Amino acid sequence: MSKNQNGSKHSGGSKTHLGHRARKRFGQNFLNDEHIIEQIVDAINPQAGENLIEIGPGLAALTEPTVDRAGHLKVIEIDRDLVERLQHHPFLSAKLEVIQGDALSIDFSQFAEKAQARVFGNLPYNISTPLIFHLLKFAEHIQDMHFMLQKEVVDRLAAEPGSKSYGRISVGVQQACRVTPVVSVPPSAFTPPPKVESSVVRLEPYKDSPHPVKDKAQLHSLCLTAFNQRRKTIRNNLKQLVPAEQLEALGINPGARPETLSVDDYCRISDWLTEQAEKNDSQ
């Protein structure tokens, strides 16, 4: 479908596509490169009978080829004009369940009563990170996710410890999912062209994470604090939370920079914090 999404803050509000004006407030950039579209749908590999959900179908650039392969699709769209287009589409309307709403506020477990969901979309840059973390709340109900994102965000999702791209998003997502970049997308593939490179990433939630953690919310909070000042040591950034000697007891060098700690390191710190909170609650 043409997405109302790889939108960035740079997306143009004056362009129209098939009679629809790209809306800056929704971060709309519409995908229109047939070769790229085919690559993305091949990466998703939709099959008949699967529980497929598209976020931000826009003008249906990905929707049409996906429905051709799968036969039926749920789509979540926030733009009322695009919802009306999809509901009255001459070829697609009978094959779509159109849900008007903001994906950031939707409970995705409701869609997975019979089978795990396969979620995909060309996400607006301005909501991509919060939306991924929102979806991770429903990870047990999701088989996989394929999202087109700003390339910089995909680099952060897949980053290894020690790299400049590695940060709280890397830790939070890698704890929960296998992360695989699958397709690179140039700005020329969109109308209007965004001013950034894009990339499609595959996120596969683990049934049993190789990085187990007791409390994901605690892990995310820890990472916010740890990466708040990247140039400082982990001792300085966490001094209000974890004594330096406790870091050493956990096998972590207090003088290390936050980007050098592994996902497992952060999970160990998070579990210690969770244990301390439980002790305090029981006293």
- pLDDT for the residue numbered 28: 52
- pLDDT for the residue numbered 3: 39
The verdict on 57 and 123 lying in the same domain is: yes
Residue 92 backbone phi and psi in degrees, to 5: -95, -30
The verdict on 60 and 164 lying in the same domain is: yes
Number of domains the chain is built from: 2
In the chain, the percentage of residues whose pLDDT exceeds 70 is 90
Tell me the pLDDT tens digit for each residue of 245-275.
999 999 999 999 999 999 999 999 999 999 9
Give the Cα-Cα-Cα angle 104, 178, 112 (nearest 5 degrees). 45
The verdict on 187 and 250 lying in the same domain is: no
Cβ neighbours, 10 Å, residue 230: 13
Range of the domain at 169: 16-205
pLDDT over 60 (residue 22): no
What is the separation of C-alpha 185 from the centre of its chain, rounded to a whole number of angstroms? 17
Q: Among 186, 205, 224, where does a domain finish?
A: 205
pLDDT over 90 (residue 283): no
The verdict on 37 and 166 lying in the same domain is: yes
Q: In what order do the strands lie in the sheet with 96-100?
A: 96-100, 73-77, 51-55, 117-122, 142-150, 198-205, 177-185
31-55 average pLDDT score: 95
* Cβ atoms of residues 219 and 36 within 8 Å: no
Tell me the pLDDT tens digit for each residue of 193-246.
888 899 999 999 999 999 999 999 999 999 999 999 989 999 999 999 999 999
The verdict on 134 and 250 lying in the same domain is: no
Over its C-alpha atoms, the chain yields an Rg (Å, rounded) of 20
